[in-house]
Amino acid sequence: MEPKTIKKIGVLTSGGDSPGMNAAIRAVVRAGFYYDIEMYGIYRGYEGMISNDIKKLESKHITHVLERGGTFLKSARSAEFRTPEGRQKAYNNLKSHGIDALVVIGGDGSLTGAHLFYKEFGIPAIGLPGTIDNDLSGTDSTIGFDTACNTAIEAIDKIRDTATSHDRLFFVEVMGRDAGFIAINAGIGSAAAAILIPEKKMPIEHLVDKLRIRTKAKKASNIVIVAEGGKSGGATEIAALVSKHLPYYDIKVTILGHLQRGGSPSSYDRLLASKLGVSAIEGLLQGKYDVMAGLINNKVVYTPIKKAIVDDKSVDEDDFRVAKILST
């Protein structure tokens, strides 16, 4: 597509926050300044676009943010933006500031918003994958996923200490909504006895058998990782089912929850966010609209948003094989 002239770009973060969002905003804004573009921060995601919470950004706004978790632009899930009236209000506000392009950092819902907005109003928009869930196609990893896995592993290591001391069986629930990426990574990385994810059903009898075998083998500790949104329920439900079969076990449940969304981004997430932030601005200037910038085999790739948000990225089968071998 022939690039439009772009002088003012708005940036926003939307949906569940993820570590590295600040690093991504900083990279987007710095790259914008490098190419002589006026940069605008849209606060609280699409909510701020509708309520006109939009401010011109200066260098001082992005100083010392790279290393901070969360997002200084704040985030929200906007029900109003899902309506044509909400999007019209948002468009009018963007026009009043003269903003002629957008960078949207978020997960599938946020990128869907950018796609709709481009389709309806022709505003050049580019998405960056910002979610701990890693459930977007068109990128090997989403911004925040690596840090969330590290956070989960650090927490599980601590749980293992107490689990071993008391010979307890722990069920640890990790985030990931409909995706098992955090569970499989954190599970392999923390020597889990078993990993339960939404994409693959494990009959409760299999899990019970596995735990019985491990008990006979006198394994030092047993930690089962359960992804939220799993087919048989979360960690609490699974623990209740298992306890009926293994009444002699002292069973505990830990839900890691939003702990996984916070914290300073890892080195990988900082690099990913920085590369993609620069690529977002360069992509817009080259006329790449309605796409998501991602990193595949360490190369920046622009994927149509419509393709990036379809749920076809699945946990690697080989990861299951590795997890199985290592948990016997």
Catalytic amino acids?
133
Q: Applying CB under 6 A, which of residues 101, 163, 175, 186 lies at the interface with ligand F6P?
A: 175
Among 177, 104, 117, 113, which Cα is nearest to 143's? 104
Count CB atoms within 10 A of the CB of residue 255. Answer: 16
Question: For the chain, how far is it from start to end, CA to CA, in angstroms?
Answer: 54
**Residue 207 DSSP one-character state:** H
Q: Using the minimum distance from each CB to ligand F6P, give the nearer residue, 9 or 184.
A: 184
DSSP 72-104: TT-----SGGGSHHHHHHHHHHHHHHT--EEEE
Q: Per DSSP, what are the bridge partners of residue 250? A: none
Among 301, 275, 304, 272, which Cα is nearest to 289's? 304
Q: Using the minimum distance from each CB to ligand F6P, give the nearer residue, 152 or 175.
A: 175
Residues in the annotated binding site for ATP: 16, 77-78, 107-110
Q: How many residues belong to the site for ligand F6P (CB under 6 A)? A: 10
Q: Does 8 bind ligand F6P (CB under 6 A)?
A: no
Q: Does 149 bind ligand F6P (CB under 6 A)?
A: no
Can you tell me which residue has the tokens 């299951």? 320
Minimum Å distance from CB 136 to ligand F6P? 11
Minimum Å distance from CB 204 to ligand F6P? 23
Residue 261 CB contacts under 8 Å (≥ 6 apart), including other chains: 16, 17, 18, 19, 69, 132, 144, 148, 175
Q: Using the minimum distance from each CB to ligand F6P, give the nearer residue, 75 or 221.
A: 75
Residue nearest to ligand F6P (CB): 16
Residues in the annotated binding site for Mg(2+): 108
Q: Does 315 bind ligand F6P (CB under 6 A)?
A: no
Q: Does 176 bind ligand F6P (CB under 6 A)?
A: yes
Can you tell me which residue has the tokens 């749920």? 311
In one letter, which amino acid is 228?
E
Q: Does 29 bind ligand F6P (CB under 6 A)?
A: no
Q: Does 173 bind ligand F6P (CB under 6 A)?
A: no
Nearest-angstrom CA–CA distance, 30 and 11? 12
Q: Does 281 bind ligand F6P (CB under 6 A)?
A: no
Q: Does 127 bind ligand F6P (CB under 6 A)?
A: no
Residues in the annotated binding site: 16, 26-30, 77-78, 107-110, 131-133, 160, 168, 175-177, 219-221, 228, 252, 258-261
CB contact at 8 A, 23 and 66:
yes
Minimum Å distance from CB 176 to ligand F6P? 5
Q: Does 19 bind ligand F6P (CB under 6 A)?
A: no
Nearest-angstrom CA–CA distance, 122 and 21? 25
Minimum Å distance from CB 12 to ligand F6P? 16
Minimum Å distance from CB 323 to ligand F6P? 20
Q: Does 261 bind ligand F6P (CB under 6 A)?
A: yes
Q: Does 108 bind ligand F6P (CB under 6 A)?
A: no
Q: Applying CB under 6 A, which of residues 9, 101, 103, 133 lies at the interface with ligand F6P?
A: 133
CB contact at 8 A, 195 and 165:
no
Residues across the chain = 328
Residues in the annotated binding site for substrate: 131-133, 168, 175-177, 228, 252, 258-261
Nearest-angstrom CA–CA distance, 233 and 229? 6
Binding stretches for ligand F6P (CB under 6 A): 16, 107, 131-133, 175-177, 228, 261
